[in-house]
Amino acid sequence: ASAPQDRSALGFPAGFRWGTATAAYQIEGAAREDGRGPSIWDTFSRTPGKVHNGDTGDIAADHYHRMPQDVALMKKLGVTDYRFSIAWPRIQPTGRGPALTKGLDFYRRLADELLDAGIRPVATLYHWDLPQELEDAGGWPRRETADRFAEYAAVTAEALGDRVTTWTTLNEPWCAAFLGYAEGVHAPGRTDPAAALRAAHHLNLAHGSATRALRAALSPSAEISLTLNLHAVRPLTGSEADLDAVRRIDALGNRVFLDPVFHGRLPDDLVADTAGLTDWSFVRDGDLGVISAPVDSLGINYYAPTVVAAGSHEAPSPWPGAGRHVRFVPLSGPRTAMDWPVDADGLFELLVRLRDELPGTALLVTENGAAYDDYADPEGDVHDPQRVAYLHAHLAAVHRALAAGADVRGYFVWSLLDNFEWAYGYGKRFGIVHVDFASQRRTLKDSARWYAEAAARNAVPPLD
């Protein structure tokens, strides 16, 4: 279902940002160094049965000790931007109080290395590593966590704002709230749908309060953003019942964040659909005004579309209140090693929707990529033709969206390095750079060379 194969290169607008992305817990390791406190992912991954193979992020890709080498790799690839996350428990080990100099120093050095290499640092403040003490005090379902986040944002931006001018508050609050507190497959592993809805609101509030703090701490030209994993939801058929299933998943997967942040309102249908779980009285007067503080761009993470029909699915589920109304329909066709379908049209659909719904908002594809089983030839070169094809198809979809008038400013491949893939541990590899986790040796995959060519030409090269 994709456009006919274009044999020539697809040119992108001048200044298009070609980035790579990572997250602190997935690559840094050094979990007990320089005063870093425990996060909910340390606790979760060390709990037997939660993560594939008992893997943890204790060592991960050892990026904390190999950061200059990893930046040198990106310089070699010629990327313009690097999206990384800051580990909150390196800055405030308990989620409160003064910032640790050693923690800030690591990210200062990272930013300096990037700037020296001509790469723009794009810092995400929260990619899921909540300080454990804040979870013990109630976690995201508790309102105070949003206040703590705004303080963390302020101290971090004050320390790094001279070097880092592009900031993202949260990565994928949907995952933090619904995989973490409703389905329980991510930290902290709770299965309480009502708590997950509270978490979603407090993540929105955290985003808004942090945006306010960032504006106060940063120069007026700083770029402030939020990254959402928006769902490209499609109905199985055009029936009214299937369209209602789409509406429900769109509310719980997309509008629960888009409407408060961009329109200062809660979706009425979401409130109605979840009435059996909560009355939403945790939303206080003024909250929606805080949450809708203007942002400079929206980050979208896209992997695969979602097809739904009227029906039901079992608990625990990440979809509070939708269990008796929605059935998830597996898409046929090729799949990645995650068993996620490959369908670049979903990315096009999302970008065109945002073109229409959020005119004037710059868009960034802050994550896109695929896990595949790579293979090394006798010379040790790592080949990943399926990843190259995946990236090609999705960048072609971005190109089509640009031609259709979507204001897409950049694309960040997930991920620079093979890393700790959350509940899947080290079993799934998303990197364009292979990591041998025994030796910590990095090897460019074919996809890295292909992506470097795209960045160099500012165009997507044809597949051969």
The catalytic site residues sit at 367
**Residue whose CB is less far from ligand GBH, 128 or 262:** 128
Name which position in 115, 212, 269, 340 contacts ligand GBH (CB under 6 A): 340
Of residues 341 through 400, those in contact with ligand GBH by CB under 6 A are 341, 367
* CA–CA separation, 461 and 464 (whole Å): 9
Cα dihedral 398, 402, 407, 408 sign: positive
Which residues pair with residue 300 across a beta bridge?
228, 365
Residues 21-50 that bind ligand GBH (CB under 6 A): 23, 26
**181: three-class secondary structure by DSSP:** helix
**Closer residue to ligand GBH in complex, CB, 204/419:** 419
417 binds ligand GBH (CB under 6 A): no
Comparing CB distances to ligand GBH, the nearer of 273 and 421 is: 421
160/172 Cα distance (integer angstroms): 23
> Tokens 């097809």 identify what position?
307
DSSP 8-class letter at 298: E
50 or 142: whose CB is closer to ligand GBH?
Answer: 50
Q: Identify any residues that bridge with 341 across adjacent strands, giving them in sequence order.
A: 335
172 binds ligand GBH (CB under 6 A): yes
What is the 8-class DSSP label of residue 131?
B
Q: Which stretch binds ligand GBH (CB under 6 A): 51-59, 272-280, 300-308, 352-360?
A: 300-308
Binding-site string for ligand GBH from residue 261 to residue 280, where x marks contact by CB under 6 A and - marks none: --------------------
Measure the CA–CA gap between 93 and 101, rounded to whole angstroms: 12
Q: What angle do CA 228, 234, 237 make, to 5 degrees?
A: 165
Ordered alpha helix ranges (H), 139-255: 144-160, 173-174, 193-217, 240-250
Q: How many residues bind ligand GBH (CB under 6 A)?
A: 16
CA angle 358, 367, 294 (to 5 degrees): 35
Q: Per CB under 6 A, which region of 76-84, 143-151, 168-176, 213-221 contacts ligand GBH?
A: 168-176
Task: Find the largest Cα–Cα distance for the chain.
Answer: 64
Interface segment toward ligand GBH; rule CB under 6 A; list 147-155, 170-178, 248-256, 261-269: 170-178
Task: Single out the residue of 20, 39, 229, 278 in contact with ligand GBH (rule: CB under 6 A).
Answer: 229
Using CB under 6 A, pick the residue from 181, 390, 412, 414 that binds ligand GBH.
Answer: 414
In the complex, the smallest distance separating the C-beta of residue 348 from ligand GBH, rounded to whole angstroms, is: 17
Closest CA to 417 of 97, 65, 61, 56: 61
**Nearer Cβ to ligand GBH (12/390):** 390
Strand extents, DSSP E, 53-201: 81-85, 120-126, 166-171
Q: Which is nearer to ligand GBH, 175 or 406 (CB)?
A: 175
Q: Assess 306 for contact with ligand GBH (CB under 6 A).
A: yes
304: contact with ligand GBH by CB under 6 A: yes
What is the smallest separation between the CB atom of 162 and ligand GBH, expressed in angstroms? Answer: 27
- 301 lies in the binding site for ligand GBH (CB under 6 A): yes
Strand partners, 445: 382
Which residue, among 399, 178, 172, has the nearest Cα to 300 in the 3D structure? 172
Binding site for ligand GBH (CB under 6 A): 23, 26, 171-172, 175, 229, 301, 303-304, 306, 340-341, 367, 414, 421, 430
